[in-house]
Amino acid sequence: MDFIAEGFKKAFVLIVHFDGELLGIIALSLKVSGLALVISSVAGLPTGAFIALKRIPAKGALISVMNTFMGLPPVVAGLFLYLLLSRSGPLGFMGLLYTPWAMVAAQTVLAFPIVTSLTHAAVVGVDPIIRQASMTLGASPFQVTRTIVAEARYGILSGVMAAFGRVMAEVGAILIVGGNIAGRTRVMTTAIALETDKGNFELALALGIILLAISLMINVLLHLVQRKGSLRTELWL
């Protein structure tokens, strides 16, 4: 099990040396995944809540489709977007292939179903008494919705965190649409895949450790935000 110690050692050395190239790769990972997460949340939260709260036809089928797309293989998403964004494809004129934008698009496609589906589940899971109570208290439809969504916020945040985990860990889609170009579209996961291909296992493992450490920090941060939210709620009560 020497290799784990070796990986940690290398990770430590990389961080201490403050390697410029590595920092660029980390920064691009966070930008691409962050932007994809924000876009899919802005679109997915209302969609999920809408599906949960409104009477719409074929609701069951819609939910099944969304749940299926949660398991969309990244390579398939990447290939689909590649063909779409390729110069020979319908959106080729935009020249987005092999840019960070294409990577954001790919990760958004992957994250959106997760945010939508888990938001739907969280909102559906809210005790129906809440809805009845707020209606009895004379709330407008908008206020009712707001109350229910507020009640579901922990479940919704879990969905956002799950989507974040998916996009930060994802490599298949961004490898295809980003091209893993050094200094341009290389992110943590594609760098790890490349170093593994090159046989630099310790370096690849070290990058993996750094990626996990970053994810841990972000999750701790989100957890603190969540806890702060719940403390405030308790004070209100």
State the minimum distance, in angstroms, from the CB of residue 42 to other proteins.
6
State the minimum distance, in angstroms, from the CB of residue 77 to other proteins.
17
Helix axes of 201-236 and 2-17: crossing angle, nearest 10 degrees: 70
The nearer residue to other proteins, 70 or 168, going by C-beta atoms, is 168
Contact 207, 13 (CB under 8 A): no
Where along the sequence are the contacts to other proteins (CB under 8 A)? 27, 31-32, 34-35, 38-39, 42, 86-89, 92, 95, 97-98, 100-101, 104, 179-182, 184, 194, 197-200
The nearer residue to other proteins, 34 or 165, going by C-beta atoms, is 34
The nearer residue to other proteins, 63 or 110, going by C-beta atoms, is 110
Task: Report how far apart, in Å, the C-alpha atoms of 85 and of each of 79, 81, 108, 183 are.
Answer: 10, 6, 15, 21
Query: Which tokens in the block code for residue 78?
Result: 């990447």
Query: Which tokens in the block code for residue 75?
Result: 């390579």
State the minimum distance, in angstroms, from the CB of residue 4 to other proteins.
18
The nearer residue to other proteins, 155 or 179, going by C-beta atoms, is 179
The nearer residue to other proteins, 38 or 62, going by C-beta atoms, is 38
Alpha-carbon dihedral 165, 100, 188, 17, rounded to 10 degrees:
-130
State the minimum distance, in angstroms, from the CB of residue 200 to other proteins.
8
Residue 24 burial by CB count (10 A; 0-12/13-18/19+): exposed, middle or buried?
middle
d(CA 146, CA 155): 15
State the minimum distance, in angstroms, from the CB of residue 91 to other proteins.
12
